[in-house]
Amino acid sequence: MRVTQGMLAANMLRNLSASYAQLGKYQDQLATGKKINRPSDDPVVAMKGMAYRTNLTEVQQFKRNFSEAYNWIENSDDALDKATQALQRIRELVVQASNDTYETTQRESISQEVEQLTEHLVSIANTQVGDKYIFNGTDTLKQPVDLTQTPPIVSTNANPINIELSKGIYVPVNVDPTKVFGYDSSATTANGNGLFSDLQFLSADLKDAMKSGADISQYLNYLDKHINNLLSARAELGARMNRIELMEERVDQQEVVANRILSDNEDADIERVITDLKMQETVHRAALGVGSRIIQPTLLDFLR
């Protein structure tokens, strides 16, 4: 086989080009910190990386969902706490008004305070987080309580707001308004079924001069029932909060594992890359040296 000067030059240029490509590969790995920078570098690593990254994205979304869940539960618990305090104050007023020594004007004054506290409870029932009403089930854009309407409007939407906090696991984060702010529109007297209806009857009886202390004291049982409903709702929220905190710890650990797996699959071993780069530089210099000796001077070099 006849080897010509042109063949030697072509081979040298091809080998130098391959050497430059290898140097470029190591430079890309050092610059990005990744084993591959395009799927063609290693299709297997690329495919695994897509699956691992999808898993990591899911876990990160679950972590954002926890913030939303905490927002709902903490605001609901705070609102129920304020509602409990208001009902306890109303209960104190009922105890005072149950005394038959109280005159009509004194009971009317108590009635006015009860009305103000009722309006305060309405504002609590209409609590918003952002632009969402938290005590209206899944109808979060509609005000749940409006006692100025005829008949009064009190939410009956008991549908839960479920948030996915782990793969396939949904946790309700809202409070059933029918259990804490119910309203019995068919009631003709206080019956302990609806909070706002009972408070309206209480206010009316306090203004009625014909009502005795015994008539007023019957509201104590109703108020105790409503207070217990609020406490039960808060206890349920506390149980959910404990569960959510445990789930968050698990998801945090899943994020650590997902990041580690993704790193093992994609991240370059920087020490090894630097070693390989140094070796390739040595090989490249040797190739340049050999090439300069292989390509001998031609007749044109002597005719200059």
Give me the numbers of helices (H) and strands (E) for the chain, helices first please.
Answer: 9, 6
pLDDT tens, position by position, 241-291: 999 999 999 999 988 888 888 777 777 777 787 887 788 788 778 777 777
C-alpha 180/C-alpha 91 separation (Å) is 16
Strand partners, 171: 163
Instruction: Note if the pTM is more than 0.95.
Output: no
Task: Identify the helix (H) or strand (E) that includes residue 48.
Answer: helix 43-97
Q: What is the dihedral of CA 255, 256, 261, 267, to 10 degrees?
A: 110
78-239: CATH homologous superfamily? f41 fragment of flagellin, N-terminal domain (1.20.1330.10)
Query: Domains of the chain: which residue ranges?
Result: 5-33+270-302, 78-239
Predicted local confidence at residue 302, as pLDDT: 52
Angle, to 10 degrees, between the axis of helix 195-207 and the axis of helix 219-266? 150
Length of the chain (residues): 304
CA–CA distances in Å: residue 49 to residues 27, 31, 120, 266: 21, 19, 55, 7
pLDDT tens digits along 5-25: 677 777 777 877 777 777 777
Give 49's Cβ-side CA count (13 Å radius).
17
DSSP code at position 33: -
**Each residue of 110-120: pLDDT tens digit?**
999 999 999 99
pLDDT at 211 over 90: no
Q: Is 60 exceeded by the pLDDT of residue 204?
A: yes
